Amino acid sequence: MVDLDLEKFFDRVNHDRLLARVARKVDDSRVLGLIRKYLESGVMVDGVVVETTEGTPQGGPLSPLLSNIYLDDLDKELERRGHRFCRYADDCNIYVRSRRAGERVMASVRGFLTGRLKLKVNEAKSALERPWKRQFLGFSFLAGSEVRIRLAPKSLERVKGKLRKMTQRSRSQEMKERIKVINGYVGGWMGYFALAETPSVLAELDSWLRHRLRACLWKQWKRVRTRYRELRALRLPERVVGFMANTRKGPWRIAASPPLQQGLNNAYWEAQGLVSLQKRYHAIRNTWRTAGCGPARPVV
């Protein structure tokens, strides 16, 4: 895989060249003038407005669309050459059959970007590597004869980092409110990452999330008499209730104990309103299948 990254693309795009490409499809001069004002609106640096003579506002809602318009010539060139590729904004992956072919493609595409589009390839971030060793837009591939999309390791660490903040034991929050916030976040996250074909990873993430929620709940049961009351409500044996209510183990360790896992099982969390990532994943995939609009199988 030829993994191309453009150096400071959003900072260095030439406004005149960009608007010339937009003008190929847009005839309305008012729209073109509005886009130019957007590009030249300036940025705030230490409280001072600085003029922008090149580039697009990074993070702006219009910037990805404008970058796709500017790089449409690259897409057409790759299609003309018969390459299999995937590109979004300044990231582009081109799939080839051998390392030697990749070296040729890397050199020729670099020349096209430099000569035709006046852009520079970021050599530090670009590479020629096996597809499963790189990531693209949060995804990667599984090694093997059958091509399968997986979550990139960084994407998994990022979602865990977000969920850690939502399930901090030091954060005073009712469990229903905590679950509501988690459901809102993972709903949008799963809507994007449902393209991945590794539901087992989501099952592990579900288990890890329930572990953290059990630890939060145990932290809330500070007093021994509170633990007695709550553990009895879970219908655990009295001998187990007495042992656990008086334990000196920390929340994370006790949350992994079989009795607490049995009492605060999957059904319990479903009753509390927690939506399983794995179930949400299968629901989204089934909706795609029913509508006949599921993601196309990648061909490498």
Q: Tell me what the mean pLDDT of segment 58-75 comes to.
A: 86
**Mean pLDDT score, 88-108:** 91
Whole-number Cα distances in Å, 298 to 28, 137, 241: 38, 15, 53
Percent above pLDDT 90 for the chain: 57
Over the stretch 186-206, which tens digit does the pLDDT of each residue have? 999 999 999 998 899 999 999
Question: What string of H, E and C letters represents the secondary structure of 191-257?
Answer: HHHCCCCCHHHHHHHHHHHHHHHHHHHHHHCCCHHHHHHHHHHCCCCHHHHHHHHCCCCCHHHHHCC
Give the residue among 94, 84, 39 at the shortest CA–CA distance from 65.
39
pLDDT in tens, 135-179: 989 999 888 777 889 999 999 999 999 999 999 998 888 999 999
Amino acid letter at 120? Answer: K
Q: Provide the pLDDT for residue 118.
A: 87
Q: pLDDT at position 80, please? A: 94
Share of the chain above pLDDT 70, in %: 96
For 99-136, how does the pLDDT look when each residue is reduced to its tens digit (9 = 90+)? Answer: 999 999 999 999 999 988 888 888 888 899 998 899 98
pTM score above 0.85:
no
pLDDT band of 294, cuts 50, 70, 90: low
d(CA 101, CA 112): 16
Q: Determine the pLDDT at residue 37.
A: 87
Helix (H) or strand (E) holding 148: strand 148-151
pLDDT for residue 266 = 93
Phi, psi angle pair for 261, to nearest 5°: -65, -35
Output the pLDDT for position 258.
93
Six token digits for residue 41? 């609106």
Average pLDDT score over residue span 246-270: 92
On the 0-12 / 13-18 / 19+ scale of CB atoms within 10 A, 147 is: middle
Q: What is the pLDDT of residue 295?
A: 62
